[in-house]
Structure 1
Amino acid sequence: MKNPSHTFRKYRIAQKLIVTCLCCLLLHINASAQQLRVIVAGLNHDHIHNVLHAFNEGRVKIIGIAEPNKQLWLKFGKQYHLPDSLFYTDLKKLILLKKPDAVLGYNEVAGHLKIVQICAPLHIPVMVEKPLAATLPQALEIEKLANQYHIKVLTNFETTWYASYNNVYHTVNTDSIGSIKKIVFHDGHQGPKEIGCSAEFLSWLTDPVLNGAGAINDFGCYGADLMTWFMKGRKPIAVTAVARHYKPGIYPKVEDDATIIVEYPGSTGIIEASWNWPFSIKDMEVFGEKGYLHALDAKNINSRMRENIKSSKIATPLPADISDPIAYLSAVLNNRLPGTDDLSSLKYNMIVMRILDGAKRSAVTGKRILL
């Protein structure tokens, strides 16, 4: 005769296993339901690898890719095992057919306006790779369309997702180093050709029309965006810039180095953007009345106070909703974040475009440009 208590225990174990499996299934279904359905516009930006990795890892659902260059279909289709059915040449037709949650722009910067011109009347949100546009007039047209059709137009910067930068920002806002006097940004690398950027990327990145500039737009935008964030969206007083052309044999059409000074009442931002660094660099130094914070990279922070008290730490990881561009976009579209006054917002990036425009005009004229 079977032991009743033993039978009951087996029944309870089986019951728990079934409940666990059902919970896992529901979590999977819920995650799939919340997964963003996006269309990718363009494949000629080397940052495309980021979203394709996210797709392969199941963090985003790419329902279509609009790209006129069919050689890029073959290249990325093979590399990421993408089905032929994903690829189209016409963005508008693809949007009407698939009805995505958002469109992600991975094309030349001057092409961002075209994406918004297509998406805005269809009420489709857009996120583009930095900077927002190649020129200020293009950015103004993007802003006009976004406001007219009430859509989100967001800009993705790698440095937005640096835990160290976020930690420094919140430390400054607790008044631990006093009011900001100066912020210095170093952004760049040895040069896009030198580090092995793809031919498709180089063809527009080094073009003054398609990219809007050289190092000024490519790397100056990071510091301009971060400075706008630290200044809480206030517009600067003036911009002064010096652009250099150290490698005309490699980059004949655009500057490859720039130093940009951005003036605020009581504070100054210095943006050093270059394709001439001896190594890849993205760091930030914040000088306050009482101390100094240095975000060396995405995680590490050094600090020094007036009393010569020095310390180092690893930054606290970012909250899930602001940990990467896909998570952030999902949070904005699902109304968990406003997306109106932050590093990716259209409001802040219009100020970024005014800083970059002022920098380009200053570099040409040799004058301090009042904004």
Structure 2
Amino acid sequence: MKNAFSLSFCVILLTLTSTFAQKKPIKLGVVGLTHGHVGWILSREAKDDIIMVGIVETNRDLAQRLSNKHGFPMEMVFNSMEEMIAAVKPEAVAGFGNIYDHLAIVEICAPKGIHVMVEKPLAVSLEHAQKMEALAKKHKIHLLTNYETSWYPTNLKAYELLQEGTIGDLRKVIVRDGHKGPKKIGVSAEFLNFLTDPILNGGGAIMDFGCYGANLMTWLQQGKRPNSVTAVTQQLQPENNPKVDDDATIILTYDSAMAILEPSWNWPIGRKDMEIYGLKGAIYADNRHDMRVRISEGYSGFKEEAFKLGERDAPYDEPFSLFASVIRGETTLGSYDPYSLENNMITMEILEAAVQSSKSQRTIQLKN
């Protein structure tokens, strides 16, 4: 009886120990503070999934400003990734600097087995993305890309309805993203500096907001690559964006569908919305929470259902919860999930072709 009790106690103790170990927060390092989206992690409430252990930022003035605003100690701020990794040994890193530096982050982290999440887009070019992918696969790390629209409940609902055949076979998708322009909306000087640099950002609005539509379309099409990419860009605010485009239209053709992406720094009202058209109806994902579904009736008539959606369930409600869950092996991303590397390699192929098309003023054919 005593031995049976001892055995049962040991089993319970091992189970509790295993559970505690599994839920131990992932140690996260933040590389760069110049990206305006860094507030996402700096202002995040303390949870048991991720704990920020170090920051890399050479601009001490910027680091001090954000320290004053968000309350992290300046002792957490290091001058290099090597210094931070040696001091605090992060298990994962989130990149919040310029897009050009994403490759360098993976080059340092991957051989050390440190998982990486970067802000969209994955890279400044397909060449950079391919090097990052090779490193991630070689060293078996997770390499994820964060898009705000990945966490929109309306986009998930639209995807599900499309897969269920609610509006019939897909024929056209229109994705519109952007705002008045980084300078007009008052982003920080550090953020503006790299957003409007063709080297550090890979382009202007075509990269900054074109990536959203390319990412969503790759998800909707479950990894189908477009047959062709055609892009036209303009510079409507040369005084604010002298080195890069600030308005773009990108057309993607598929065997039986088309996508029109409209990334712009010239929208009078900020937006991230999507329209999906099938043979029987249309889905309008108007914003994060509001969505409409119209089913055709006759020539121009339709039956409409409106949705007001709440936030997605954890860990799919924000990037850091899902990052931790994926690292722990608790969550496996769906096929061509917007967050996934397989999706974002195709997204980068689309963006590269769009940039080439806009420069050459011709359609780029993609080999399938």
TM-score above 0.5, yes or no: yes
Letter in 2 for 1:76: L
Within 5 Å, give how 1:1-371 maps onto structure 2: 33-55=23-45, 60-307=50-297, 308-315=302-309, 317-339=311-333, 341-371=336-366
Give CA deviations for 1:78-129 in whole Å, capped at 9, x if unaligned: 1111112211011122113222121000000000001001001101000000
Counterpart of 1:285 in 2: which secondary structure?
Answer: strand
Give CA deviations for 1:239-262 in whole Å, capped at 9, x if unaligned: 000001111111100000000001
| Structure ID, larger Rg | 1
In structure 1, stretches of 5+ residues that fail to align are: 1-25
> Which of structure 1's runs of 4+ aligned residues deviate more than 6 A?
none
CA 1:58–1:191 in structure 2 vs 1: closer, same or farther (change >3 Å)? farther
RMSD between superposed Cα atoms in Å: 1.7
Counterpart of 2:105 in 1: which secondary structure?
Answer: helix
Single out whichever of 161-170 and 89-98 deviates more from structure 2. Answer: 89-98
Identity rate of aligned residues, in percent?
40
Once the 2 structures are TM-superposed, how far is the Cα of residue 337 of structure 1 from its aligned partner? 2.0
Counterpart of 1:359 in 2: which secondary structure?
Answer: helix
Q: Which residue of 1 is the match for residue 13 of structure 2?
A: none
Please give the alpha-carbon distance, in whole angstroms, between the structure 1 residues aligned to 2:89 and 2:336: 27
The question of whether the paired residues in 1 share the 8 Å contact of 2:67 and 2:74 is answered with yes
Once the 2 structures are TM-superposed, how far is the Cα of residue 30 of structure 1 from its aligned partner? 5.2
Once the 2 structures are TM-superposed, how far is the Cα of residue 265 of structure 1 from its aligned partner? 1.1
The question of whether the paired residues in 2 share the 8 Å contact of 1:66 and 1:89 is answered with yes
TM-score by length of 2: 0.90
Counterpart of 1:61 in 2: which secondary structure?
Answer: strand
The question of whether the paired residues in 2 share the 8 Å contact of 1:54 and 1:60 is answered with no
Please give the alpha-carbon distance, in whole angstroms, between the structure 2 residues aligned to 1:166 and 1:184: 16
Give CA deviations for 1:145-190 in whole Å, capped at 9, x if unaligned: 1111111110000000000000110011111111110010000000
Give CA deviations for 1:312-343 in whole Å, capped at 9, x if unaligned: 11125422121110111111111122246311
Counterpart of 1:40 in 2: which secondary structure?
Answer: strand
Single out whichever of 55-64 and 251-260 deviates more from structure 2. Answer: 55-64
The question of whether the paired residues in 2 share the 8 Å contact of 1:56 and 1:80 is answered with no
Please give the alpha-carbon distance, in whole angstroms, between the structure 1 residues aligned to 2:273 and 2:21: 35
Counterpart of 1:168 in 2: which secondary structure?
Answer: helix
TM-score by length of 1: 0.90
Please give the alpha-carbon distance, in whole angstroms, between the structure 2 residues aligned to 1:118 and 1:59: 24
Once the 2 structures are TM-superposed, how far is the Cα of residue 292 of structure 1 from its aligned partner? 0.4
How many residues were matched structurally?
Answer: 344
Please give the alpha-carbon distance, in whole angstroms, between the structure 2 residues aligned to 1:221 and 1:78: 33
The question of whether the paired residues in 2 share the 8 Å contact of 1:43 and 1:107 is answered with yes
In structure 2, stretches of 5+ residues that fail to align are: 1-15
Letter in 2 for 1:282: K
Counterpart of 2:315 in 1: which secondary structure?
Answer: helix
Letter in 2 for 1:110: Y
Letter in 2 for 1:347: E
The question of whether the paired residues in 1 share the 8 Å contact of 2:154 and 2:290 is answered with yes
